A and B are shown apart, each in its own frame.
Chain A
Amino acid sequence: MTGPILIDLGVGGMTCDDCAVHVSEALKSVPGVEAATVDLATRSAAVTARPDVDGAALAAAVRSTGQYNVFERRRSAASGE
């Protein structure tokens, strides 16, 4: 059984704290996502998810908001696993 992974994402389109909340909610709506942290200042997000969660599903969920964009930078084993 493979443990959760950490997916590092670039995030575009955010202008305020509410935006970060919307992006975070969109990411968490994807099945298999356990946690999502969005950072407005660095325009990035860190998602902890099952290994079978692909970047395209995360991107589709965020892009469906019509306001924001994400793309996958890299993925790694979540720390502590």
Chain B
Amino acid sequence: MSDTFDLLILGSGSTAFAAAIRAADLGARVAMVERRTLGGTCANRGCLPSKNLIEAARIVHEAAHPRYAGLTPATVGVDFGALVAQKDDVVREYRAKKYASVAGGLTDLELVEGDAALVDPHTVQVGDRQVTGDRILVATGSRPTIPLIPGLESVPYLTSDLLDADEGARLTDLPASLVVLGGGYIAVELAQMFSRLGSRVTIVARSGLLSGYEPDLGRTLAEVFTAEGIEVLAGARVDHVRGDARGVELAVEQAGAGRVVPGERLLVATGRTPNTDTLGLERAGVTADGDGFVTVNAQLRTNQPNVWAAGDVIGRQHRSQMATPVGARQGRIVAENAFADAGRRFDGSVIPRAIFTDPPIAVVGETEAEVRARHYPAVAATTPLMYVPRAGAVHRTTGFVKFIASTIDERVLGVHVIGESAPEIIHEAAMAMKFKATLPDFVELIHVYPTMSEALKIGAQAFSRDVTKLSCCAE
């Protein structure tokens, strides 16, 4: 095949594949350049393997803590090596079905293995080969951020890459103890997973858990974690790290006092850094911000007319989020703008997001702080899940739903849930918000009784009624 393509995509994750599939539909000859395993972060070392292992950890925990009087706690043995092996099988099968075979089935798609370096706005050097594209899409994703902490560079540490099935960073032995550095969504998911599988876990977080989200979400999660035996050190600053293959020690300062936090392994989960530093964006004249995120307009075009960027590499511009389905949507938009002059703009105003802890968290729209910051007249109401019949019926009352709504027209601006089934029920809120729903819209919809989705109806009712006095079905 020719080394000149209509679309040259750097990366092979969800963004890249969505762009490739749509561009091929529209008649384009596409090449995709990947330096790691085909499929990107989500399939190989992110959402998919973590959700697999988190569910296994939940089974272990539920058996030991059955919640119901009359059910005897049981111990489920954990063979971590075997658990990891089945996870690897799931990852490989998914990668084969959703990525490799899709790539093989596309007309005029060429996969180029290697590290891509831009030569100019149309050309990329991959090893000895120069590949050119009339249009280029930068979709190289992100990787774990490694903070500048004295000593860290000479200490062995894990990142979320431990989830990978086929790379060297893969973890096959369960650590007896684990120090998790960070308090974001990756840190909390993996901390609880390791704790439930048998590691003694300490979280060391600069602020509280899940900063940037509704504050009560992180506070509730911290209470649950503490009750499960996870030590949460919030507001902690790491002075230095030392250790070797046998164990690590973090010198931590918290509330003016110093202490040493030891662990067999250290997991660094302090955020994500865009994979743009080795691309040579400057040689193509493409602008990035100080953190390396590629600057794009709402149509996802960079300052170079033929170069586009999408997925994790654009960070939070245009209310984007680093998330697999967000990148996939953006990849499709790029293909349609680049080859069908669609003029589509990315709209990130309604993107549901979930954190797969237990209880899980799901959010859509703005936080109360964000609404206040733009001085929009709004009210907020938080309803504990103890007022949701299903939560009480199945002994899952930990959590709440928080609505933020306009005081002008009662339009819902944000919904934030921590509790059973939150990642599923959030879609009702997201769909409603997509159609600019008001609080009465949530109340007027008859919900199935008893479901966790009733939390949305009851949470919306909380603005006008005393939800502690509702009868059956919240009428």
Residues of B within 8 A of A (CB): 6, 24-29, 107-108, 134, 339-341
Residues on A with beta carbons closer than 8 Å to the beta carbon of B24: 12
Beyond the given pairs A69-B26, A71-B341, 8 more chain A to chain B contacts, judged by CB atoms under 8 angstroms and listed by A's residue number, are A9-B27, A12-B26, A12-B27, A13-B26, A44-B27, A69-B340, A71-B339, A73-B6
- Which residue of chain B is the closest to A71 with respect to CB atoms? B339
Interchain residue pairs with CB less than 8 A apart (26): A9-B27, A10-B6, A10-B26, A10-B27, A10-B339, A11-B27, A12-B25, A12-B26, A12-B28, A12-B339, A13-B27, A43-B108, A44-B27, A56-B341, A59-B340, A59-B341, A69-B25, A69-B27, A69-B339, A69-B340, A71-B6, A71-B26, A71-B28, A71-B339, A71-B341, A73-B6
Residues on B with beta carbons closer than 8 Å to the beta carbon of A69: 25-27, 339-340
- Tally the A-B contacts, defined by beta carbons under 8 Å: 40
Is the beta-carbon distance between A43 and B341 smaller than 8 angstroms? no
Residues on A with beta carbons closer than 8 Å to the beta carbon of B339: 10, 12, 69, 71
> CB of A70 within 8 A of chain B?
yes
Residues of A within 8 A of B (CB): 9-13, 43-44, 56, 59, 63, 69-71, 73
Q: How far is the CA of A59 from the CA of B340 in the complex (A)?
A: 8
Residues on B with beta carbons closer than 8 Å to the beta carbon of A11: 27
| Distance of A61 from chain B, by nearest CB (Å) | 13
Q: How far is the CA of A60 from the CA of B134 in the complex (A)?
A: 21
Give the interface centre of A13, A56, A71 by most chain B CB atoms within 10 Å. Answer: A71
Q: How far is the CA of A12 from the CA of B106 in the complex (A)?
A: 12
- Which residue of chain A is the closest to B28 with respect to CB atoms? A10
| Distance of A43 from chain B, by nearest CB (Å) | 5
Taking a contact as CB atoms closer than 8 A, the residue among B25, B107, B108, B340 that contacts A71 in the complex is B340
| Distance of B26 from chain A, by nearest CB (Å) | 4
Residues on B with beta carbons closer than 8 Å to the beta carbon of A10: 6, 26-29, 339
Q: How far is the CA of A59 from the CA of B26 in the complex (A)?
A: 11
Residues on B with beta carbons closer than 8 Å to the beta carbon of A63: 340
